[in-house]
Amino acid sequence: MRDFPYVICMLFIGMWLILFVSNYKTEEIRHNAILATMNESVRIASVNSLDNSLRVETGRVEVAEKQFENSFECFFEKNSNFKIENPKFSYSYLKSEDGEIKAVRVKVKDERNTNYQTTYIADVK
């Protein structure tokens, strides 16, 4: 009976550690799954939003920005493994001197105000 408080204390610490580790791993899986979905959706959206009518020279292609954004949002919501309520999307484009898009950075903010971002650099050559 002397060890009863010690056993209760160890059980409490053990349960607390199990809850902490399981919560941490769940959040880690959620974060990695959202980033993987973003990367996949950016690649698909970039291919779907190519404007082939502007492709006049080898190695140069134009991406329609509005079509890219709509396509990304559609694929992201369709392919997401986790429910994200009311995601907020923001896009920033890195453009060259002549106006062609070199890279796209996509940021998604979820209902927990967590920011997820990915950058896609396309090589069309």
28, part of any domain:
no
> Pick the residue with more confidence: 32 or 60?
32
99, part of any domain:
yes
C-beta separation of 61 from 54 below 8 A:
yes
Q: Which residue has the tokens 């199990």?
A: 18
15, part of any domain:
no
68, part of any domain:
yes
pLDDT at residue number 88 = 93
By residue range, what is the domain housing residue 99? Answer: 37-121
10, part of any domain:
no
Q: Taking Cα atoms as reference points, which of 118, 89, 119, 92 lies closest to residue 31?
A: 118
Provide the token pair at 52: 């082939």
- pLDDT tens readout for residues 50-81: 766 665 666 666 777 888 899 999 999 998 88
Q: How many CA atoms lie within 13 A of 97 on its CB side?
A: 0
Number of domains in the chain: 1
Q: Taking Cα atoms as reference points, which of 122, 116, 125 lies closest to residue 46?
A: 122
| pTM metric for this prediction | 0.80
Give the Å distances, CA to CA, from 49 to 1, 41, 43, 52, 74.
72, 12, 10, 9, 12
87, part of any domain:
yes
C-beta separation of 103 from 118 below 8 A:
no
